Chain A
Amino acid sequence: MVTVSIQNNQANYAVSSGSLSKQAKSSLEQSFQAQKNSKKKQNSDNHSLSYYKNDIHKDELVQNNTLAKRIGINIEKTLDIPLIHFPRGLGGAPDYTFFEFLQTAKFPYYIGGPILAALFYAGVKKDNFRSAGAAQKVAKHMALGVGLYYVGAALAKSIINNTVKASRGVDLKQPYAKYISKSSKKSGAFQKDVEFHTAFESADFTRTDLLYDEKGKTPEEINKNYIEYGKKYGIKEDANNIDSTIKPLIKKTIVMARAWQYALTAFFVTLGVGMANQPAWDKSSAEGFKKTVTEGIFGKGVKAKDRLHNAKVVVYDYMLKPFGKSFTEFWKGHSKGSSIAGKSVILATAAATLTAITLLLTQTSAKGHKLETTGNNNIKEGQK
């Protein structure tokens, strides 16, 4: 299905730029259009990713925001960094956007840490058996530190996202597909396709316009999303003007959530690196982990039951157990200084998380916000 729709698109493109006679062109166009419409209908019904990639003609909210779809979008976005954004940037494309620049900025963020750890490992004495062992240990902690750094950062974001989603119904990760007009696309390699943004990524230019259901007939139908938000924000208002009441609240929520995401990241990455530095991780070897994964889970001729067991071993013995233990070790510390450091990092992280959640729960609700009275809405009068 995916391939078909791509072929359609290409065929369509070739036709429109070809030199066929007008008649032939229009008849072909019609038939393709018909095909395309039928596909489109199917696609828009089940909201597959390729629909958003190929068939949209305006910015659209991605429906059914599932994990699988988000992963698909992220893979798409990640692949675009080396395949599209970097070539375009290095060429100095005139239509290069700030979004693309931000996408390229992810590259140094994710390779800087591992390279630093690798450079450290390159500098240790490996010829000597004893120091090689010690170095491997340190390198392992560093690699783990880099890993848990990213985990910590992701955790901080996810705590806030979930809080906001649960309390206000606002899904900060809600993606939308930004349509890039075909006329502005340059032909040839490295053309920009569709950009996947998130609807709430900007507080200044929040895509609240995408939240209306344009197919709706009545205000209740059009403002369906806003009415949902309204319930969560604690607003009981006329379906006609609930959107204008909600919008400033959404903006406020975005600002507060982003601020706390960044702030919590500082705490959680410290916690992550602190935990990675604990002896709990020494016991399980990286070698054993690798073996269990490659031979125990994905190896040939392993019984399904054993695979399951090995998966449990990997998750529990190699990850959760040392993770939990490293937490207690970090709390206790091995010296007076490190014990104070561990306790204060853990307590500060907990306190900051609680503060963030409390503020988000209390300050973004309608109670915590001075509602701007919009007066009588005049939509109906206007229609007269």
Chain B
Amino acid sequence: MGNLIQSIPVYRPQTQTAPAAGVNVPAQTAPQAVHKPPFQDIKNQFPQTQTYSYIPARPLADAHNTPIGVRPAPSKARLVHENFFQSIGSTIKSYGDYAKYFYNAAFKGEGKDYNVGKINDLSIRAGSLGIAAVLATSKMFPFAKGMEFVGLGTWFASMAVWPHILGAPIKALYGVNINKEYIDSEGRRKYVYEDNQYRPMDIYRYADLNGKPLSPEEYYKKYDKDYIYLDKMGDKLGVPRNIKNRNEATMNRAAQVAVQGKTLWMLTAGVMTPVVSSIVADALQTPLKNQLEKTRYNKASKNLKALESQIDTLKNSGNRDINGIMSALKITVSPKDQAAFNALLTDSGVMTPEQFQKLQDFIDTKFFGSGYKNSLSAAMKRGADMTEPKVFITKELKETIKNITTESVKELLDKIPAETKAKLPEGLLNYQGISEKQINEIIAGVLQTEGIPFDESRTIAFENITKPLGYNSRNGLMQAVTQKTLEPFAFSNLKDKDKKTPQRAPLHNFNRALKDTINAKLKAYFDTKRSFVVDKAEMQKIFNFAFTNNELQKKLKEFEQTSIQNISESMTAINWERVPKKYLKTIGFTEGEMAILATQDATSASKVLSKKFSEIVQDSEKYKKVIKEMADYAKTAISKEEKAVIQLIGTPDSKGVLVKIKELMEEVAQSNFGYETKNELTSHYNLRINEIQRKLKNTIDSYVRPIKALDVFKEIKNDVKHILDYTSDGLARTNAATELYPLAKMTREQQMESLEAYIKDIVLQKNDINSWTTKMETELPGAKQGMKHSLEFVRSIANKVFGPLSGDTAAAINDAQFVDMCDYNNRLMRGTFLRIENKLLKKYTTQYNVFYDLVDRLAGNDKSVYDLLVRILKEKRFVLSPEDFQNCMNLLNTFKNNGHKAPGYKIDSAKKFVNECLDMHKSNREIAQISGKNVTDFFISAAQETRARNKWMKLVYGLLGGTLALSALTIALMGKENHFNKYKYEYINTPEGADK
């Protein structure tokens, strides 16, 4: 105990320099008192007190080495000085460390607060990745899937970036880097200002002016004193230079700024992380979508080209064997499907009707919606032979007969009214089926027909006969059963005239109905005893053929889904997302107009549009600009789709992949299964081709229509005048005849005004001529019957609304090809819609044909329309039969070459045939498919999209701006004296001279 006390350094009275009593200390090792007491001034103040002197601690034993543990090991902590890429590298590396921390903590319970805290970082990221993955799997399309991860990435990026954004101005203003890190002696990475109560000043000792840590040797080569970095920081913080302990004061001030900065970070991170994340993710959307669209399309296109070359090779090879084609196309039936198919076939090839039905059902469901189900069924039926019913005399037959008779009577009784029932014999009402005895009699009769003797008791062992009943026996059986059933009620013995008596009539009717019912039921029973002899190889061929077709369709579909199909993330869908908004912007709506477009009904929206369009056509410079821009947007949107459609279908002169596949499969169907199957297949493929064509037409019509609408607005005055002039005779005539024509009662000015309003409304809202007429009636009040009574009137309006673009517009577009596309599209649309008009104008229906005027001109002397007519005819190459198509083409050529002018040529029937071929008859569904979005709807949805986005932008950028402003203000107020911080310094010199 005494030894212990001796080892503590103490102040002792100077007089007692000798060691304490009882302690045996070798004299030579006893420490000498230090005769220079440090507190001389204290001593002077208290002279009367004893003089003390400092006696340093005495080691317990002779020290030969420097004792370990007496002083702390030198700090190995160092500042982190990394550039952007290095810091990413160390972040990645640190996640590896965190995983190790997790293993040690979770499985061994080893670790410290620091390590456990880092596991949280790892876990948050892992959890977010898991969430992104789960959400991505719930999305259907690759872009949406990808965006989940992009969102995750931007979220963490903005979380990581925001403190650096805040830190930059703080560092610039005050020299304090709130994100500065250091690595402590244990190798843990920490923030210098992590804990306000722990301020590692030492680590700045050898930092150069940029905060880069140097080795002491390097440092002293450059600088002659420590803490040069803190010096600089103090200057920036405004810490006076001539104070005592300036570095400490600087550290305190830096800590203040750091606490302020980090609190600001926490205050703003909750808003800025989602805001910055959304802004970045939003900005990334367009380039990512473009890239993805390109990649997907190119990939699909490449696959399609590969398929095309395979098809070309096959077509040239002349191989029409389905198995050969399958192996050439590398199509194999999946084992699962093959097994399911095999299970439906019987070994012998003989199938019961149920089995055969199941086989058909399997094919039906397997290839449902493929469109060649019918051709398949046809081929299958041909491949399977039906046998005669194999009916044996068995117990089952006897039971069946009994059941059928009972059921038949019961069924009929249920159907007839009570009063009729009353007239029927009692026994019939409680009928319990044919008796055993009667059945035996029937069977005995049947056996007799078969030439088999039976014994007297008529109880022959029927089961011994293994020969099925022949046709006559079966018929005989049927007759006998009906007869025997009715026997107890003596129906069969009635004479004809007795049957008609009021008492007897119900019974007679019942008799007849029962006969039919029993016969039908027996027949159905016999049918179940038929069987099918199926050629298994033929069936397999059919299956393979269907399967091959299916696989080819799938490949085509993959391409369609990336390009022309209107599903999420396809080329078309992306166009629809973007282009209408561009149109909207080009036209330049105000916020208020956009609100009306987006939120109110179509009538209000079209009023806004009408006003806007009228304004634009007034200003010819603006008109040119708007038309040009819209045309450019339309071109990009249409050309993408057109390219895809050409790849699929091709042009009349060069075939696309789909057409090639069609031709190949037709040939395969013809050579393997015959004409019937081939025809079915052809119509299926034609349907698909036509649908694709209609899709493209829809796109063209949608984007072209606003341009044409603007064009109509520009020419409206001339058009209206022209229409009124052109139809004036017609008007007068109609008026005179019926006095119903609405315009007739108006002055010329009123007529012009009304018609103008009406046509504007048509181009903005109505494209279906069906609704023109009703619209006319509402537009021009007081008229119960409207324009449909004037064919010329309708036609002349249609000619304007669907007519070619005016010269000004064409000049503004300055692209002959595009103008031609617009005009041709309009012409076809006019044809399609006017075809409906024929239904309204019943009296014209038989003679009126859309392109008759063109045909007449060709048959006359105007040969310039030939090309146009050929173009229209080619439009229908997948609608008409090949023979009709060729014949029509021949006739057009004849007309062109004046062949029809030869004597005796039946020109009328020739023209009629051509008109019929060119006729644009379409089902309502088809019309809906080809006609594009109407102009008002087009702009309504664009306005809705734009407004939603504007609202979002306002919110997001509002939050961003607000938070940034708040941050800037807070940063400006940092490092100043305030409620919590009062700066008091002890100056080295006079405070007055304390300039920096």
A interface with B by C-beta (< 8 Å)? 85-86, 88-98, 101, 104-105, 107-112, 115-116, 119-120, 122-128, 131, 149, 186, 188-190, 202-205, 251-253, 255-256, 258-260, 262-263, 265-267, 269-270, 273-274, 277, 333-335, 337-338, 340-342, 345, 356, 359, 363-364
Closest B residue to A260 using CB positions: B106
Q: B263–A104 contact, CB under 8 A?
A: yes
For window 971-985 of chain B, which residues contact chain A by CB distance below 8 Å?
Answer: 974-975, 978-981
* Nearest opposing residue in chain A for B948, CB measure: A125
Q: Determine which of A112, A256, A335 lies in contact with B270 in the assembled complex, contact meaning CB atoms within 8 Å.
A: A112
Does A265 contact B123, Cβ atoms closer than 8 Å? yes
> B980, A107: Cβ atoms under 8 Å?
no
Known contacts A253-B109, A262-B120, then 9 further A-B pairs from the complex at CB < 8 Å, ordered by chain A residue: A91-B978, A93-B259, A98-B194, A122-B951, A204-B113, A258-B119, A263-B102, A265-B124, A277-B135
Say whether B255 faces chain A, with CB atoms less than 8 Å apart: yes
CA gap between A345 and B266 in the complex, in Å: 32
In the bound assembly, the distance between CA atoms of A104 and B270 in angstroms comes to 11
Most A-side CB within 10 Å, residue of B134, B269, B945, B952: B134
The reply to whether B106 and A98 form a contact with Cβ atoms under 8 Å apart is: no
User: A86-B263, A108-B270 in contact; A116/B109 too (CB < 8 A)?
Assistant: no
Q: Is the CB of A116 within 8 A of B947?
A: no
What is the bound-complex CA distance between A345 and B130, given in angstroms?
8
Given contacts A89-B260, A89-B266, A253-B109, contact A259 B197 (CB under 8 A): no
Mask, B259-290, CB within 8 Å of A = 1, is 11011101101110111011000000000000
CB pair B274 A119 closer than 8 Å: yes
Q: Size class of B's contact patch?
A: 35 or more
Known contacts A263-B123, A341-B137; A111/B271 CB under 8 A = yes
Question: A127 to B948, Cβ gap below 8 A?
Answer: yes
A256 contacts which of B105, B134, B137, B274 (Cβ < 8 Å)? B105
**With a CB–CB cut-off of 8 A, which chain A residues contact B262?**
89, 101
A64–B138 alpha-carbon span in the complex (Å): 47
Smallest CB-CB separation from B108: which chain A residue?
A: A363
CB of B981 within 8 A of CB of A94, answer yes
A-chain residues with CB within 8 Å of residue B941 when the two chains form the complex: 128
User: Is residue B643 within 8 Å, beta carbon to beta carbon, of the partner chain?
Assistant: no
Given the known A-B contacts A94-B980, A123-B952, A125-B948, are A363 and B277 also in contact in the complex, defined by CB atoms under 8 Å?
A: no
On whether the beta carbons of A92 and B106 are closer than 8 Å, the reply is: no
B109 close to A364 (CB less than 8 A): yes
Contacts of A188 in B (CB 8 A): 979
Chain A residues whose C-beta falls within 8 Å of the C-beta of B258 in the assembled complex? 92
- A371-B760 Cα distance, complex, nearest whole Å: 94
Which B residues touch A115, using CB under 8 A? 270-271, 274-275, 959
Chain B residues within 8 Å of A338, by CB:
134, 137-138
A94 to B278, CA, bound (A): 36
Main secondary structure of the interface of B (DSSP, over half): helix
Complex CA gap A123/B130 in Å reads 25
Interface centre among A267, A337, A342 (most CB of B within 10 A): A337
Nearest CB to that of B979 among chain A residues?
A91
Report chain B residues within 8 Å CB of A345: 130, 134
Across-interface contacts of A94 in B (CB, < 8 A): 196, 252, 255-256, 980-981
17 residue pairs of the A-B complex, CB under 8 angstroms, read: A86-B267, A92-B974, A93-B981, A97-B195, A115-B271, A116-B274, A120-B278, A252-B110, A255-B110, A255-B111, A256-B109, A258-B105, A258-B116, A265-B127, A266-B130, A267-B127, A363-B108
- Chain A residues, Cβ within 8 Å of B135: 273-274, 277
Q: Is the CB of B196 within 8 A of A98?
A: yes
Given A112-B269, A127-B948, A267-B130; A91-B107 close (CB under 8 Å) = no
A271 to chain B, nearest CB (A): 9
Residue contact B270 to A128, C-beta cutoff 8 Å: no
Closest to B954 in A: A122
In whole angstroms, how far apart are the Cα atoms of A265 and B124 in the complex?
8
Q: How far is the CB of B584 from chain A (nearest CB, A)?
A: 13
Is B212 interfacial (CB 8 A cutoff)?
no
A85, A101, A125, A259: the one contacting B945 at CB < 8 Å is A125
Q: Contacts of B140 on A, CB cut-off 8 Å? A: 335
Are B260 and A91 in touch, CB under 8 angstroms? Answer: yes
The answer to whether A92 touches B112 (Cβ under 8 A) is no
Is the beta-carbon distance between B107 and A359 smaller than 8 angstroms? yes
A107 touches B266 (CB 8 A): yes
- List residues of chain B with CB within 8 A of the CB of A89: 259-260, 262-263, 266
Q: Tell me how far the C-beta of B711 lies from the nearest C-beta in chain A, rounded to whole angstroms.
A: 29
Minimal Cβ-Cβ distance residue in B for A334: B138
A99 to B302, CA, bound (A): 60
Chain B proximity of A336: nearest CB distance (Å): 9
| B732 lies within 8 A of chain A by Cβ | no
Contacts A91-B978, A112-B273; is A119 near B266 (CB within 8 Å)? no
CB distance from B253 to the nearest CB of A (A): 9
State which of B120, B122, B980 has its C-beta within 8 Å of the C-beta of A88.
Answer: B980
B113 touches A363 (CB 8 A): no
> Are B259 and A127 in contact, CB atoms less than 8 angstroms apart?
no
Interface residues of B in 102-156 (CB under 8 A from A): 102, 105-113, 116, 119-120, 122-124, 126-127, 130-131, 133-135, 137-138, 140, 155
Q: Which residue of A lies closest to B256 (CB)?
A: A92
Specify which of B107, B266, B980 is in contact with A104 (CB 8 Å cutoff).
B266
B978 close to A127 (CB less than 8 A): no
B170 to chain A, nearest CB (A): 12
Contact check: which of A93, A123, A260 meets B980 at CB < 8 Å? A93
- Please indicate the chain B residues that have their CB under 8 angstroms from the CB of A273 in the complex: 131, 134-135
Known: A123-B949, A259-B102, A337-B137. A128 touches B944 (CB 8 A): yes
Residue of A nearest to B162 (CB): A108
B106 touches A256 (CB 8 A): yes
If A86-B267, A112-B273, A263-B119 touch, whether A92 touches B978 (CB-CB below 8 Å) is yes
Cα–Cα distance between A96 and B256 once the two chains are bound (Å):
9
B956 at the interface (CB under 8 A from A): yes
Given A92-B260, A269-B131, A98:B195 Cβ within 8 A: yes
B599 contacts the other chain (CB 8 A): yes
| CB within 8 Å for A122 and B130 given contacts A86-B267, A98-B197 | no
B270-A110 in contact (CB<8A) = yes
Q: Is B598 an interface residue (CB 8 A)?
A: yes
Cβ 8 A contact of A203, one of B116, B127, B194, B260? B116
Complex Cα–Cα for A128 and B946 (A): 12
Find out whether the CB atom of B277 lies under 8 angstroms from the CB atom of A116. yes
CB-contact partner of A111 in B119, B124, B138, B270, under 8 A: B270
The 6 tightest CB contacts between A and B, nearest first, are: A89-B263, A108-B270, A266-B127, A270-B130, A92-B256, A252-B109
Bound complex: CA A108 to CA B979 (Å): 26
Complex partner residue of A255 from B105, B256, B257, CB under 8 angstroms: B105
Task: Tell whether, in the assembled complex, residue A124 and residue B980 are in contact, meaning their CB atoms are under 8 Å apart.
Answer: no
The 8 A CB mask of B931-971 against A (1 = contact, 0 = none) is 00000000001011101110110011001000000000010
**How far is the CB of A305 from the nearest CB of chain B, in Å?**
42
With a cutoff of 8 Å between Cβ atoms, the chain B residues found around residue A85 in the complex are 263
Residues of B within 8 A of A205 (CB): 113
Of A90, A131, A203, most buried by chain B (CB within 10 Å of CB) is: A90
Residues of B within 8 A of A274 (CB): 131, 134-135
Taking a contact as CB atoms under 8 Å apart, the answer to whether A126 and B278 are in contact is: no
A202 to B941, CA, bound (A): 58
**Contact present for A122 and B955 (CB under 8 Å):** yes
Chain B residues, Cβ within 8 Å of A341: 133-134, 137-138
Please, which residue of chain A has its CB at the minimum distance from the CB of B193?
A101
Q: How far is the CA of A116 from the CA of B278 in the complex (A)?
A: 8
A363 CA to B103 CA, complexed, in Å? 13
**A2 to B387 CA separation, bound complex (whole angstroms):** 100
Residues in B whose Cβ lies below 8 Å from that of A259: 101-102, 105-106, 111, 116, 119
A97, B195: Cα distance in complex, Å:
7
- Are B112 and A204 within 8 A (Cβ)? yes
Query: Could you mark each residue 752-775 of chain B with 1 if its beta carbon is under 8 Å from any beta carbon of chain A, else 0?
Result: 000000000000000000000000
Cα distance A86–B101 when bound, in Å? 32
Cross-chain contact A255 with B116 (CB below 8 angstroms): yes
